[in-house]
Amino acid sequence: MIRLAHWINAVALLVLLMSGLQIFNAHPALYWGDRSTFDAPALSITAEAGADGASRGIVQVGPLRLDATGVLGLSKTAGVETERAFPSWATLPANQDLATGRRWHYLFAWAFVLNGLVYLLYGIGTGQLRRRLIPDGDQIRDIGGSVREHMRLRFPEGEEAKRYNVLQKLTYLVVVLLLLPVMVLAGLAMSPGMDAAWPWLTTLFGGRQSARSVHFIAANLLVLFVIVHVLLVLVSGFWNNMRGMVTGWFSLGTVRP
């Protein structure tokens, strides 16, 4: 059940990310508060003419400006240089199409939320969530040792590899119980209908534009998590991990001396 939920989740999050970037491209600027302060965005990804007259892709975060031509702000779509915040290979649909992007986003938002609820109910009901994700006493005491081992890319072996290590547990807890729920709630807080039904939710995020920014920042943190997660799956024994994640059969191998 948990393995199935994991893979449904992976697909849903990929679609949500790519369609989300499509939606962001329709107005590639973020603000704080209730309304947009168009002349002073907190972040914007635009194209503008450089000193030589050629267009440049510019990412602006507060006072910081970064030239990201080729990827952000200005990139090639089917060989043609196009002004768009995120490049066509990262968005769903590939071309600029807000309407279809929104359709993908809401369909998979429902898939993500329903899958997440099944996972949480099952995980709490069977006690698996507590057993797998709450660090055990001995793990908490040796948290420094776990950090040192991770820095050397050495991972638990033998019997110890049967449970998640302490850093893994804490990270998964933050993602499952904080980052993903914040994603959903910040998304809902942007909805004018939800704002009328649950005004406290938009207030919680400090306004609709703040909620949009939080949604974007949390999405970035999730991408960061997935990158580290996939890298660690790769370096800690890709095939054994994949077999475990797909079939549930995980080899403890032979403990090296």
Partner 1 sequence: MALLTPRRRFLATSLGLVSAAALGGCDRFAGTDAGRRTLRLGEDANRFAQRLLLSPAALAREFPDSAISPWFKPNGTIDPPDQDYRALAGAKFTAYRLAVDGLVERPLSLGLSDLRALPARTQTTRHDCVEGWSCIGRWTGAPLSEILTRAGLKPQARYVVFHCADTMEYAGGLDGARLQPETPDHVRHIQLAAAGSDDWGGGEPEAQEPDRRTPIRYYESIDLVDALHPQTILAYDLNGSPLPVGNGAPLRLRVERQLGYKMAKYVMRIEVVDALTGIGGGLGGYWEDRGYEWYAGI
Binding residues for partner 1, rule: CB under 8 A, are 15, 23-29, 31, 34-36, 38-41, 44, 46-48, 83-84, 92-94, 96-100, 102-110, 188, 190-199, 202, 208-209, 212, 234-235, 237-240
Residue carrying the six token digits 């109910």: 121
Are 209 and 27 in contact by the 8 Å Cβ rule? The answer is: no
CB of 141 to partner 1, least distance (A): 32
Kindly state the greatest CA–CA separation across the chain.
64
Are 255 and 161 in contact by the 8 Å Cβ rule? The answer is: no
Q: What string of DSSP letters covers the chain? A: -HHHHHHHHHHHHHHHHHHHHHHHHTS-EE-SSSS--TTS-SEEEEEEE-TTS-EEEEEEETTEEEE-TTTSEEEEETTEEEEESS-GGGSSSSSS-HHHHHHHHHHHHHHHHHHHHHHHHHHHHTSHHHHHHSPPHHHHHTHHHHHHHHHTT----GGGGGS--HHHHHHHHHIIIIIHHHHHHHHHHT-HHHHHH-HHHHHHTTSHHHHHHHHHHHHHHHHHHHHHHHHHHHHTTHHHHHHHHHHS-----PPP-
CB of 64 to partner 1, least distance (A): 16
In degrees, rounded to 5, the angle at the alpha carbon of residue 178 between the alpha carbons of residues 177 and 180 is 85
Q: Which is nearer to partner 1, 105 or 169 (CB)?
A: 105
